[in-house]
Structure 1
Amino acid sequence: MEQWFAAHLGDAMLAGDELERVCTLFDQQRERNATTAVLMRHENFGRLHCELVLYFPPELAELAAAVGAQACGRPGLSGLGVAIGSPRRLAELAASD
């Protein structure tokens, strides 16, 4: 099983600055393949507002560590989108299910 990482950015309405920081760090990554992407999902943990959670694939472990992401399992596809990178990453995930 490949090790994924998740970063909880908090209230989705207030996560813009942190998301922008992650995007900037992603753009600085030199060793990534054509389908690498940081994925995202708005998740509700029983609170009033949903939380923005970013998912980093194994090849972005260094970036995940830089933003304080924690190890997690591979995310499910439901509600998953691309925060930055290649949209083909979602198709790869779907094909491997």
Structure 2
Amino acid sequence: MEQWFAANLGDAMLAGEELERVCALFEQQRGRNATTAVLMRHENLGRLHCELVLYFPPELAELAAAVGAQACGRPGLSEMGVAIGSPQRLAELSSAD
């Protein structure tokens, strides 16, 4: 099983600054795979507002650690989008299912 990582940025309406920081760190990553991406999903975790959760695939473990992401299993793809990186990463995951 591949080790994925998740970072909950909190209230989606207030997560913009932290999302920008993650995107900037992603752009600074050297030698990353051209088809990798940080994935995102708005999730309702029983609170008033949905929260923005970022998912980092195994190849972005270093970035995940830099932003304090926690280990998790591979996320389901329902309503998943690409925060930054290649949309091809999402397509690859879809075809692997």
TM-score range, shorter chain: over 0.9
Secondary structure of the equivalent of 2:92? helix
Residue equivalent to 2:29: 29
- The count of aligned residue pairs is 97
1:89 aligns with 2:95: no
RMSD, aligned α-carbons: 0.5
Residue equivalent to 2:66: 66
Q: Which residue type is aligned with residue 62 of structure 1?
A: E
Q: Deviations over 1:48-68 (max 9, x none)?
A: 100000000001000000000
Secondary structure of the equivalent of 1:65? helix
The CA deviation at 1:33 is: 0.9
TM-score of the superposition, structure 1-length normalised?
0.99
The CA deviation at 1:34 is: 1.4
1:48 aligns with 2:43: no
Q: Which residue type is aligned with residue 6 of structure 1?
A: A
Secondary structure of the equivalent of 1:22? helix
Q: Which residue type is aligned with residue 32 of structure 2?
A: R
CA separation in 1, counterparts of 2:35 and 2:89? Answer: 5
The percentage of counterpart residues that share the same residue type is 88
Q: Deviations over 1:26-54 (max 9, x none)?
A: 00001211110000000001111000000
